[in-house]
Amino acid sequence: MSLPHDDVPIAYLDATMAAASPPPSKPRDDRVNGAIFVAVLVVVMWCVEVIDTISGGDLERHGIEPHDPDALPAIAAAPFLHAGWGHLIGNTIPFVILGCMIALSGLRRVIWVTVIVAVVAGLGVWIFAPAGTVHIGASGLVFGYASYLIFRGLFSRSVVHIGVGLVVVVLYGTTLLFGLAPRDGISWQGHLFGAIGGVLAAWWLDRREDKASGPADRTPVKVSAV
């Protein structure tokens, strides 16, 4: 039987209002903390380059050496090592821009994206790059950040995310394609697997959000006559 509006149970009204209300936005402090995280990574990169310059470039040999089991820990260190100041500056600018764009979704988001991209890029280089080479630099993270922002909208179907992805394509699309071309002295494997890591991060984190929302958010509430 149909119910007059005044007779609808309070629990049903609460559930309906909760379902209709938009999800809360990220607290401002969380976005700021995300940007601080990106800044801290950059500061570490620059400090490492200062130490590397003073030591005569000795740190660069501690990058990823493909197929060498002893070099696996270098997956964590390689993004902080660069082949000179030009290399570092070239990575810093897009790293900050793209990283801060991801940080707008909060600290946890930018940390997860960074970890996923670093691991996928590092393992991809270690497995598929030729032996006898050393791979360093944050460009794998840059490519991962860019691909994450581009593909996130495809998984979330958010107009905002799609718009951000289009902006990234306009700003960095040509650079991304050029960076994937095999060239001597360039870790195109790091670029490729960094980009793959970004796509995986976008897919996995979107699924994680769907699971966190729970099926109750999409299940109709049954109404009993009183």
Q: How many domains does the chain have?
A: 1
In a domain, 11, yes or no: no
* Local confidence band at 25 (pLDDT 50, 70, 90 cut-offs): low
C-alpha–C-alpha distance, residues 98 and 96, integer Å: 6
218 assigned to some structural domain: no
| Residue 180 included in any domain | yes
Q: What is the pLDDT of residues 166-224, one digit of tens each?
A: 999 998 888 888 888 777 778 899 999 999 999 999 999 988 776 666 554 444 434 33
Does residue 214 sit within a domain? Answer: no
pLDDT on residue 172 = 86
What pLDDT does 21 receive?
A: 45
Give the domain CATH number at 96: 1.20.1540.10
Is the confidence at residue 18, as pLDDT, over 70? no
Of 104, 108, 96, nearest to 32 by C-alpha is 104
The residue among 223 and 101 whose pLDDT is bigger is 101
What is the Cβ-side half-sphere exposure of residue 11, based on CA atoms within 13 angstroms?
7
Q: Is residue 14 predicted with pLDDT exceeding 70?
A: no
Is residue 32 one of the residues assigned to a domain? Answer: yes
Assigned domain for 149 exists: yes
pLDDT of 16 > 50? The answer is: no
Q: Is residue 225 part of a domain?
A: no
> What's the CA angle centered on 199, arms 192 and 19, to 5 degrees?
170
The rounded distance, in Å, linking the Cα atoms of 121 and 217 is 36
- Give the chain's mean pLDDT: 84
Pick from 73, 92, 74, 76: which is nearest to 84 by CA? Answer: 92
Residue 64 confidence (pLDDT): 95
Query: For the ranges 53-62, 137-146, 152-161, which has the lowest average pLDDT?
Result: 53-62
State the residue range of the domain holding 125.
27-209
